[in-house]
Structures are given as C-alpha cells and as structure tokens.
Structure 1
Amino acid sequence: MASAAGIQQQQEVLAWLLEPLSQQWTQLEWQNNYLSEPLGLIRLCSETAFMWSIFHTVTFFEKALKRSGIKKGSLNLQNISTASTIHPMASHLSWMLPPLLKLLRAVHSLWSPSISQMLPGEIKAAMTMGNAERYSLLGEGNPKLSKGALTFMDGSHIDTSREGHTETNEADIRNWLKGIRDSGYNVLGLSMTIGDPFFKCLDVHSVGVALMENIQSMEFRHARQLVHSALIPLVKHCPMEMWEVWLEKLLHPLFIHAQQTLTFSWSSLLHEGKAKVPDVLGILAEADLKAEVMEEKLLRDLTRETCVLLSTLASPGLNTGLPTLEQSGHAIRVDLSSLKELDAFASNSMVGFLLKHNGLAVPALQICLEAFTWTDGEAVSKVLSFCGSVILLAISANNVQLREFVSKDLFSAIIKGLALESNAFISADLVGFCREIFMYLCDRDPAPRQVLLSLPCIKPQDLVAFEEALTKTGSPKEQKQHMKSLLLLATGNRLKALAAQKSVNIITNVTMRPRSSVNAPETRIDEGDTVGLAAIL
C-alpha cells in the first residue's frame, strides 16, 4: 500500500483490507450497547477482547490514512485539481468516522463530573496519568518496557502485551483510553487533510458534540493533544466556503475554555507558585516538587499549542486578502478613503473572519493580551504572527472597535511584555509592533499617545522630541531604534527584554517562585530570577 502505487491500485487494496472491518465497525449493535449511554463504556472495559479489537480497528484506520496519501510530484498538472476527490481513503470516511466520533464522545464523557463520580474505582484510577506519562513530563528515563509496548509522539508508551488476558486491570484500561484518544484524534486530523470529502460527509454538529461537549472537563494534556492533532488540521484544511459553519462550531468553545483555564493557571503559578493543573490533582502530595514541575510543563505545553493554533489562523495561505504595509519612506499616513470595512477581509483572510465574529474574536484576543504577561517567551513568539495580522487589519480596515483595541489594549500589553526578560529574544519584533501601532494609528486614535504618556518616567516634551525624530527619517530601522529609546526612557530602563544580555545565556523557561503554601500571600514575581528545569529537579 505504498504511496507510490497508482491511485486505482491503492483504492482496490484498501477496499479489500477495509471491507471486513467495515462490516463490524458499522454495526449498530455494539455502538448501542457500549456508546449510547455513559455506563456503556464501563461494560466495554470488561469485554477485554472486544475492547482491544476496537483499538486495533482505530489504529488500522490511522495507518491506512498515513500510508495512502498522494506523494507530492506524483500527480501531473491535469489531475492536480482533483487530487482531494481521488484520495484513496476519501470514499471510506462516511462509514469510518461516525462510530469513531461516538467513541471519542464516550471517552470524553468519563471526565465530566456527573459521570466520573459514578465510575468504578478501577476506571477512575485508569483515568489518571500513568508512570510513563509522568516520566515523560519530568524528562526522566522510562522504566524497562515490555516487548508489546507502543511509543507515542509525546514519548509515553502503552503496553499491548496483556491484551489477550481475560481480565482487564487498571493499566489495561489506561493504555486503551490513551491509545483510543491518540489514534482517534490522528484519524480525524488526517481525514481533514483530504479536504472536501471530510467536511461534506460529516455533520458538523456531531463533530462538535464529540469533541467539545465536555471540553470544560478535559485535562490539559488531552486538550493540548486535541488542538495539535485535530483542531490545527481543521484550520489548515477547512474549505473557505465552510469557515462559517465549522470554525465557529469548534473554535468558539475551545477558545472560551483555553482563555479561562490558562488565565487561572498562570495567575496561580505566578502568584502562588502552583499552576493548579487538573491532570496532577490526586497523583502526588501538594508540596511535592515533581508535581509542581509536571504542572508547569503541562501548562506551558497547552499555552504554546494554543498559541500555535492562533499562529496557524494567521498563516499566509489562509490570509491571502491581507494588504501589506509600506515599509519605506515617509508613507505613514493612511488614506482614510481607501479603508475597507472588516467584512471585506472576512472572505479571504481567516484572521479577518475571526475578528468579524465576536464569539471567536473576544477570547482569542484576550489570550493574546494575557500571553504577554505570562513568563513564556516561546508562547509569545508563536502568537506574534497572529498579533501582526490583527495590527494590519486595524490599520487597513475601517473598524473603530478593532482600532481602539489595538491602539490601547494591545499596545499596552506589548509594552508590558517587554518588561519580561523571557521575551528578550523577540524584543525586536515587539518594538516593531509598537512602531507600527504608533506611526499608523496615532493620527486616527488618541490612545497610542495616551499609552506612552501613562508610562512612569515620560515627560510631554519627551514625546514631542520622539515624534520630531520620526519625521526626520524614513528608515523603519531607525524608527524602531527611536521607539526603543523612548520606551526605555519612559519606563526608567525597566524593560528587561530590551536590556543587553550578551555575555550570559539565561534559560527563562521556569520562574523562581516562593515555595507555595495554602495560605501564602500573593506576591509579585521578579522576572529576573530565573533558573533552568534541571536545577530544581
């Protein structure tokens, strides 16, 4: 079934291989018995042979999708336009995916409070992180693996060597749940890459219910995996004419959940020293240092994956309608008569589409603002392209609400981000954003000047001198230098990201925090005290 084989041959081989599976997979009897109500999955976990049969069916779908793709260059120019319709797996999605969605919905439901409290102790225990996942998070060596162990992308493993046993134990159930989730998300993501056949053969409501119904109960490692394996492919491959239906349905609940949980956990981490991530609750003692390291790793992983999702939304291929800024000379005055309504960008810019829909825009923009205050420079670096697109649309579109957001809220957040040493390696980009916001929007909105004048050490004459200096140069590089100098002056040299760090390489991945206690008072964190993960293990 190599991808170099002819399309017709692949289709015939796949039909021969999948026919026996389809007969069992599409039967309503097992779906009604095990997936129609929450306790059905408990019964399934007691049927060891059938449980593992389902697992192997899902993993076979995953392998078939991975190996049956069309190699780049294997199509001639005449049939490139029909590539998505002749994918060997396209005709199988309509029977393959609906039962999988039911299965994933059932798995997700186990974590909802109303159902988890009814579960047997063995299943509850299986829903917690196993040793392999903990070792992976801590960067420690895994214990000796059995011959039947499978390795996943996150470095953890599941052991299938016991699947023939008649009794199911906690480890078996944990392995099965992890395997179904890993392969199930991959099957969805790989199916989305096929394009139209995926989006036209499924009801968006069934996908939304399966993936988002219990998003509020999802643990951080599972949410990160869902974003990485399913939602990022959704954004990349959703046809433009289906954005309205699919993106609103799936991204809105995700953004709401991510904004709420990330805000809470980062606030807890920075002020109390503990991220309070649900994945770790009940595993180790609260004061255990390893538990805190795992919590922070899980928080950073979800934060970064969420920012990657925002970056994907802003990728050039999905935003062909965005204009470009004039980057030379003195062309900093925008012709107001040339401004378009935001709606004009919504059909050929995914960021424009998102900003047009408040349900998507509000939580996504809030994540951006708060990311600048979280001590994770890597996360900020991933969200820069999204912020850049938002700034560009604020400049190019005739939208008062967006212009005010960028001129005040985003401008202020970027300056706050420059106060964190963890953002030093992207400080040039942040200063560049400050330059664009001020130069292109200060004549259309009073907020950029007000933000600068609100800084602690600036005087009105400093701002006047800054603006005079800008008029004397048409070089963006020199204008950025003027902006950097003004920001340092206006903050009393307190912007640590702009401070020279030439001789010392500092790992800013973990902040030094006071050891937490239940009643510890809130304290502000000095971003300058930084250590590496290895130093605290």
Structure 2
Amino acid sequence: QLALENVVSTVFDGSNEIVGGSSEVQLALCRIFEGLLQQLLSLKWTEPALVEVLGHYLDAFGPFLKFFPDAVGSVINKLFELLTSLPFVVKDPSTNSARHARLQICTSFIRIAKAADKSVLPHMKGIADTMAYLQREGRLLRGEHNLLGEAFLVMASAAGIQQQQEVLAWLLEPLSQQWTQLDWQNNYLSEPLGIVRLCFETPMMWSIFHTVTFFEKALKRSGTRKAQPNLQNNLAASSTFLHPMASHLSWMLPPLLKLLRVVHSLWSPSVSQSLPVEVKAAMTMSDVERFSLLGEGNPKLSKGASISAEGYQISISKEGYTEPNENDIRNWLKGIRDSGYNVLGLSTTIGDTLFKCLDIHSVALALMENIQSMEFRHIRQLVHSALIPLVKNCPSDMWEVWLEKLLHPLFLHSQQVLSCSWSSLLHEGRAKVPDAHGILAGSDLKVEVMEEKLLRDLTREVCSLLSVIASPQLNTGLPTVESSGHISRVDTSSLKELDAFTSNSMVGFILKHKNLALPALHICLGAFTWTDGEAVTKVSSFCATLVVLAISTRSVELQEFVSKDLFSAIIQGLALESNAIISADLVGLCREIFIYLCDRDSAPRKVLLSLPSITPQDLLAFEEALTKTSSPKEQKQHMKSLLLLATGNKLKALAAQKSVNVITNVSMRPRSMVNSTETRVDESEAVGLAAIL
C-alpha cells in the first residue's frame, strides 16, 4: 500500500508533464492506473483485515482522482459498500476488528477528500444523503459520523467559505440542540460529583466526548486552506469577513468551560479524597504517557484498543453500551482535556469572537480555580494548547480584562512550584512534582526520571509563554536599541514613561501590573539557575525585551532590576554548562546592560567588581576598550573576555567547546552534592555572585 501511495503521489502530484499530457507513454500510464483501480473496485473482500487493506489501497488513489474525477463516484460508492458490509454490533467483543476496519474506512474518506480536492465536490450531496440514511437506520456510530463529518469539512474547504458555512450548519445544528440543553449541564456540570455520575452513564459520557472532539475537528478543518494564502490574506483584510466557525462559539464554549471546570475539580483535595475507586485510579497516568516520559516505545495495547491521533488510547468497542472501567474513564478525561484545551486555543485564532462572547470570569473560573491542584503535565498542556494561543490573539484593548485574571494565578503558582521543585532537584537530587501520585508504581530510578522530565517540560512551557509575550507582534511599540553604540549614548531627554508602552507592548503591560510582573520576573531569574538550557533559550527573548524597556524608559524600578538582578542572574547562568547553547545571546545582553545603563546606574559596575578575580584596573581597561570600538561584535568579545577573567575562567557556558552537545533533559547531578556550590547563593553578599564561582 505504501509503495502504491508513493508511486501515485509521484506521478500525479501536478508538477510533471504526465498529468494532462497526450503522449503514448502518458496515456499508457493513465490506463494502467485506471485498470488497477477497476480491479480494486471489483474485489469483494469482507474480512475486516482485508477490508482495511482495500480501503488503504483506494485512498492511495487520491492524487489520481484529482485529475480523473470521473472515477471519484465509484470509489466513494465502494467505500460505503465496504463500510456497510462490516458488522455493526458493538456489544460483542469479537467484532472489535470490524469496528476498527469501519473507522479506517471512514478515515479513507478524509484522505481522499484532501488528495482529490475539488474532484469530490459534485459528490457531496450523495455522501450527505448516504450519511443521513445510515444515521436514520442506526447503522452509523458517533465516532464514524465524526470522521465522515470531518471529511465533509475538508471537501467544503475546497469549495469556499459559503459552502463551509452551510456544511457546518448541517453538521453542528443537531449537536447544538443537545449541547445547549440545561438539563444535562445541571445534572453533570453543576458540582464535582456530577462528573462522577457522568463517568458511570456511558452513553452520555461518550456522546459528550464525541461532541467535544468534533468541535475541535470543525475548528481545525474550517477556514481557508494553507495552500490558499492569497485568499486567506484577502479574507483577513476584509472587515466583513467572519470565520465560518465564529457564529458557533457563543453556544459551544460556555458548556465546555463548565465541563473543564468540573474535570479540573476532581484533582482538588476536598474532592479527590471522596471519589470512587475507579475514578481515582483513572486519574493516574496511562502506560502511553509513562512510556513517553521515559522515552521508551509505546506499550502493547490491550486487545481491541487503538491509539488516536491525539495520543490517547480508545477502546474501539466503546460507544456507550458497556460498563466503564478505569481505562475508559482515564481516556475520557484525557480526551476531554486534550480536545477541550484545543477548542479554546483554536477559537482564539479566528478573530476576536471568543473575547467578545465569553465572560472572563467564567473562563478564569474554569481554567484557574483549581490551578494549585493541577499536576505539572496538566498545567503544561493548558499553557501550550489554550493559554499561549489566547495570549497571542488577545486584542490589545482587552489585555486589561483578560490577561490579568488568567496570568496572575498562573504566574504566581508556576513561580512557587517551579522554584520548589528545582530546589529539590538541585539540592536533593530528586524533583518534587505533584504528579507523583499519578505515576504508577515503578523502579525508583524510572520514577525519578519521569519526575524530572515533567519538571523540565513545565519549565520550558512557562518560559515559552514568556517568550510569546515578548514576541515582536505583541510588542509593536517597542523601540529598537541601536545596534552599535558607546557608553551613555542614550539621550535621557528622549526617555518615555513605562505607561507609554502598556498598550503597544505586552511586556510593558505586564510590568505595569505588579501582581503579574513580580512572579514573571522571579521565573526569569530562577531560569538562569535551573540547569535547563532550553528554558533559558526561551526566556532570553523576554529578558531582552526587559533590557530594551529599561534602556528606553524612565522606570527606576525596572532600571534597577535589569542593572542588578538580571545582570547578576545572566552571569550566574553563564556558570552553567547547560547554557552554552545560548551563551552568545547572554553575553550580548550583558553588553547592552553595561553599555546603555552603566552611566545611569552604578549596579552594573558593582556587579562586575563583585566577581572573585577582577580588579578595578581590569574594569577600567575594559571600559577603555569599549570606547575604542563601536562594533557590537567586538564589544561582545570584550565583555566575554572580561567575564572569563573576572570569574577565573569558571563560566562553563563560555568555556564549553562548541562541538559539545549539552544534554539538559536529565540531570547528571550526583545526589551527594547536596550543598552544590554551583547553585548556592550567599545571602550575605551584596550581589552574591562570588558564592557561585
């Protein structure tokens, strides 16, 4: 099948002369493929395994169908024939292979819709009629209907926005009637124990699961294709353009937020202690998650199970007709969290509808109410899938309303737990993470590796969020520091108040809100001590923006922070070999801080003079060398040389060979190094750098 797929896609990729040609070779090739397709269509295979293979062969012909649309109808008819030939009964475990084959056939519709492009459009009504007929007859399960619906959205994306709107209305109208009813929301979503009841009412449980996952698919598949950039740009530029999913968010999202809120509440201590055994067990990690953390291959799946594209294990016999078990509940919880976060994140990318139709209080309640009870893996996922897209796409006139309520609890909690866990890892040799109770029994070493991986993953995600906050598109009003310059070159009369940047720089906005700024700045400083080069790489752009704002504004507090605390932390970070990968950028930040701030604040000179091997004469010689060149590259080299001299060549990030790949996924710190001099800071020192060198 793979060989056929490669051959067909190569011959019919549209970039060669075979397609549309008239030579004998070209015609012969086309006849060969037509003949092969006819042979496949004539096969009468009914065994599930063979049906699955035949489905793969047929969807491999997708690129061929794009240029030979006359064959599309027969392929679609054959796929429906294969689908209806397979047993439908789901109560019988012996039909699991048939269920899997049915899902694969439905997936073939998606592949063909993508590859055949507009050739499928004339057949949309026929497909819709067949879907409706099978549904009326009770011969199409929800999971299968979702896949066919997704294929429909792919087809509609080739037809244009209006067609998409019609298809979405057709697919979502039945869902909205159920989703917006208050009865099920009041019964299951009004209190934490309601979700427990839901976990034991499997038809409703899986119905909700399929509804949420289809919302995700609808958001992913609607809009304009990436292959149509001009159309996308034109539509985006048009003030009258409304994304086809925009009108559906107002009824989709409020119940979803309620659902996420009660799912999150299961981990709160007051609720978790009274949960049934099955639900408690379902809150532990799956084998797939644990094997992923350990970097091992996926475990063997239980018979009749499959891994979805989203990575959670689904029993393919489950459509709500059997008693739930621990694994079903775990997969349901993971699926709701995965798709729910993605729905929120994707909804922020289609304009400002989400920000206008939702009450920030309900969003903050759903996402942040139980942040202190969340496991690291869940916070990381929330940040990655929901909060980063929300921050990226939040209109600047709504920063005040949205960002403070969401980022304050996140920053505050993240700063506290990351500091605690990293301190434990660096001083005791083991990270303390709240996910520990969710990790099933295993060897101590494996548990420690998983804990450290969870800590590093969350650290990097939070630093990624800070990097996004500092991105150019969210800081359009940020002035540019001249690429070259001498000491005290900045004209102080041109400096602005920090307030001038609160509406056109998200970092400026964060700094003006102390409840956001303080934990965010503490995370920045901490990252330089946490032996994770990837996290430092991500957070360095945020630090660079802090430096620019300190140089460009009259904010004394920011100037003092950058000149002393940040300058010290960066040098401290250069003492760690794990930061070798970002060392050039860190030296560049040191250069900017010293050149542009040393005449406005005495701290940069004091920081350098506090280093163990520097003399005042060394500093004077360094400053004199800076005055003799305006080349940033040469100035950075002078800064690097001074730092190495001042620390007695103990800045490992600078001394590390460029050819050495520093591994930061797993700590190599021996347990005996409880009082590591590399991370200990002497509180009695004015600056404290000498203590780490």
Structure 2 length-normalised TM: 0.73
1:454 pairs with one of 593, 606, 610: 610
CA distance in 2, matches of 1:21, 1:79: 28
Opposite residue 108 of structure 1, the aligned amino acid is H
The question of 1:353 aligning with 2:509 is answered yes
CA distance in 2, matches of 1:417, 1:305: 19
Shift of 1:506: 4.0
Opposite residue 524 of structure 1, the aligned amino acid is S
CA distance in 1, matches of 2:513, 2:204: 44
- Cross-structure match for 1:535: none
Point out the more displaced range, 193-202 or 505-514.
505-514
2:435 pairs with one of 274, 279, 284: 279
CA contact (8 A) 1:163 1:172 kept: no
* Aligned partner of residue 405 in structure 1, secondary structure: helix
- Cross-structure match for 1:53: 207
- Cross-structure match for 1:122: 278
- Cross-structure match for 2:636: 480
Q: Judging by fraction of residues, say which structure has more helix.
A: 2
Deviations 1:171-216 (A, max 9, x none): 1100000000000000000111112111101101100000000000
Opposite residue 64 of structure 1, the aligned amino acid is A
The question of 1:216 aligning with 2:372 is answered yes
- Cross-structure match for 1:493: 649
- Cross-structure match for 1:299: 455
Deviations 1:61-101 (A, max 9, x none): 00000000223535377643346851011000000100000
CA distance in 1, matches of 2:362, 2:284: 27
Point out the more displaced range, 249-258 or 498-507.
498-507
Structure 1's unaligned 5+ residue stretches are 528-537
1:23 pairs with one of 174, 177, 194: 177
Alignment of 1:44-193 (within 5 A): 44-71=198-225, 72-73=228-229, 75=231, 79-82=235-238, 85-145=241-301, 148-153=305-310, 155-193=311-349
Point out the more displaced range, 77-86 or 9-18.
77-86
CA distance in 2, matches of 1:468, 1:181: 58
Shift of 1:317: 0.8
* Aligned partner of residue 386 in structure 1, secondary structure: helix
The question of 1:226 aligning with 2:382 is answered yes
* Aligned partner of residue 669 in structure 2, secondary structure: coil
Deviations 1:1-34 (A, max 9, x none): 2323221111111111111111100000000001
CA distance in 2, matches of 1:14, 1:233: 23
CA contact (8 A) 2:534 2:664 kept: no
Shift of 1:285: 5.5
Structure 2's unaligned 5+ residue stretches are 1-152, 680-693
- Cross-structure match for 1:14: 168
CA contact (8 A) 2:577 2:656 kept: no
Deviations 1:439-483 (A, max 9, x none): 100000010001001111111111111111111111111111111
- Cross-structure match for 1:253: 409
CA contact (8 A) 1:354 1:360 kept: yes
Opposite residue 522 of structure 1, the aligned amino acid is V
Gap change, CA 1:321 and 1:463, over 3 Å in 2: same
* Aligned partner of residue 229 in structure 2, secondary structure: coil
CA distance in 2, matches of 1:139, 1:63: 29
2:675 pairs with one of 500, 518, 523: 523
1:195 pairs with one of 351, 354, 360: 351
Structure with bigger gyration radius: 2
CA distance in 2, matches of 1:318, 1:502: 33
* Aligned partner of residue 13 in structure 1, secondary structure: helix
Opposite residue 306 of structure 2, the aligned amino acid is A
Shift of 1:525: 6.8
CA distance in 2, matches of 1:508, 1:17: 47
The question of 1:412 aligning with 2:568 is answered yes
- Cross-structure match for 1:509: 665
Shift of 1:357: 0.8
Shift of 1:327: 1.5
* Aligned partner of residue 149 in structure 1, secondary structure: strand
CA contact (8 A) 2:580 2:653 kept: yes
Q: Comparing both chains, which one has the higher relative contact order based on Cα–Cα distances under 8 Å and sequence gaps of 6 or more?
A: 1
CA distance in 2, matches of 1:111, 1:291: 20
CA distance in 1, matches of 2:290, 2:272: 22
CA distance in 2, matches of 1:477, 1:413: 22
CA distance in 2, matches of 1:31, 1:195: 28
Shift of 1:163: 3.9
* Aligned partner of residue 510 in structure 1, secondary structure: coil
Opposite residue 36 of structure 1, the aligned amino acid is S
CA distance in 2, matches of 1:59, 1:282: 25
* Aligned partner of residue 307 in structure 2, secondary structure: strand
- Cross-structure match for 2:192: 38
Point out the more displaced range, 124-133 or 406-415.
124-133
Point out the more displaced range, 305-314 or 165-174.
165-174
CA distance in 2, matches of 1:82, 1:365: 39
Shift of 1:120: 0.9
CA contact (8 A) 1:4 1:74 kept: no
CA distance in 1, matches of 2:276, 2:295: 32
Shift of 1:157: 3.4
Shift of 1:500: 3.9
* Aligned partner of residue 39 in structure 1, secondary structure: helix
* Aligned partner of residue 231 in structure 2, secondary structure: coil
CA distance in 2, matches of 1:80, 1:526: 51
Deviations 1:323-381 (A, max 9, x none): 11111253742111100000101111111111111111111111000000011001100
* Aligned partner of residue 480 in structure 1, secondary structure: helix
Shift of 1:283: 3.4
CA distance in 1, matches of 2:486, 2:662: 39
Shift of 1:425: 1.3
CA contact (8 A) 1:388 1:433 kept: yes
Opposite residue 207 of structure 2, the aligned amino acid is S
CA contact (8 A) 1:422 1:509 kept: no
CA contact (8 A) 1:391 1:406 kept: yes
CA distance in 2, matches of 1:127, 1:391: 43
CA contact (8 A) 2:487 2:596 kept: no
- Cross-structure match for 2:594: 438
CA distance in 2, matches of 1:156, 1:419: 41
CA distance in 1, matches of 2:286, 2:295: 14
Shift of 1:161: 3.1
- Cross-structure match for 1:5: 159
- Cross-structure match for 1:532: none
Gap change, CA 1:391 and 1:76, over 3 Å in 2: closer
Deviations 1:140-162 (A, max 9, x none): 11123355523355x55343433
Opposite residue 355 of structure 1, the aligned amino acid is L
CA contact (8 A) 2:575 2:652 kept: yes
CA contact (8 A) 1:84 1:197 kept: no
Gap change, CA 1:442 and 1:84, over 3 Å in 2: farther
Shift of 1:502: 4.4
CA distance in 2, matches of 1:127, 1:84: 46
- Cross-structure match for 1:238: 394
Opposite residue 150 of structure 1, the aligned amino acid is I
CA contact (8 A) 1:513 1:525 kept: no
- Cross-structure match for 2:42: none
CA distance in 2, matches of 1:381, 1:8: 44
Task: Give the CA RMSD over aligned residues.
Answer: 1.9
Shift of 1:484: 0.7
